[in-house]
Amino acid sequence: MFSAFRVQVPLLPGRSHPAHSAEMSTQFLFGEWVDCLENTGEWWLVQRKEEQYPAWVRNSGLVAVGSNEAPGHFQHALLQQTQGDFGLVWTSMGSKIAAGNQAPAPLIEWAESWLGVPYLWGGKSVMGIDCSGLSQLFYESKGWMLPRDAAQQSEVGELVSWLFESKPGDLVFFDNEEGRIVHVGILLSMNQVLHAAGMVRIDKIDQQGIFRTDEGRYSHSLRLIRRPGF
């Protein structure tokens, strides 16, 4: 049996257990390569070659990687049509496509393109995305691979002590009452953060946390700042 496979549907849900009713923990995007770790008939446990984050998928969305096949290029366009093994499909940013390498957008332009995209637990596309999916896609667009969830991402890169020492693109992490990292955002400046909470939005931030001006309250408590690097 082949071990390496390529995603050939626009979005392939990755679930915590081999069942449609199981929680969706992530999504695999068109053109991404995955390794098959285990299979139970039509349900396969797979993970991306670049990360250790396995999830169960239906094997109908996968094709075997050819022996001489090269990985595709990162798709920088938010949404576009792409020719795949199963025909012409709409693909989202982060997909791996055969067309020539596209240039990444500047941070502010990139951030504005995502505004209003709805929050979706485990989502990684323009149709719905979670906070760590957003930060992972941003850094991958720059050629730097981050782990999949916020707690894992909070352990990567240089620690930044204070917001006034931060740079645009640094990641800010937020904890809950138990001290567990539960949220991540991308700094646009030392007082603005892009994050996915209800939808992708830009909010104010200070050393205490994210301040929602529309609600007049702090919604997230700042725990730490990281600079993964480019």
36 is catalytic: no
Residue that is written with structure tokens 């991308």 in the block: 186
4-25 b/e with 16+ CB inside 10 Å = b?
A: bbbbbbbbbbbbeebeeeeebb
> How distant is the alpha carbon of residue 137 from its chain centre?
4
Catalytic pick from 20, 36, 195, 220? Answer: 195
17 is catalytic: no
Catalytic pick from 17, 20, 76, 183? Answer: 183
Please tell me the distance from the alpha carbon of residue 96 to that of residue 74, in angstroms, as a whole number. 5
183 is catalytic: yes
Catalytic pick from 73, 76, 131, 220? Answer: 131
Q: Which residues pair with 118 in a beta bridge?
A: 199
Cβ 203 vs Cβ 193: under 8 Å: yes
Q: CA angle, corner 203, sides to 198 and 208, nearest 5? A: 105
Catalytic positions, please? 131, 183, 195
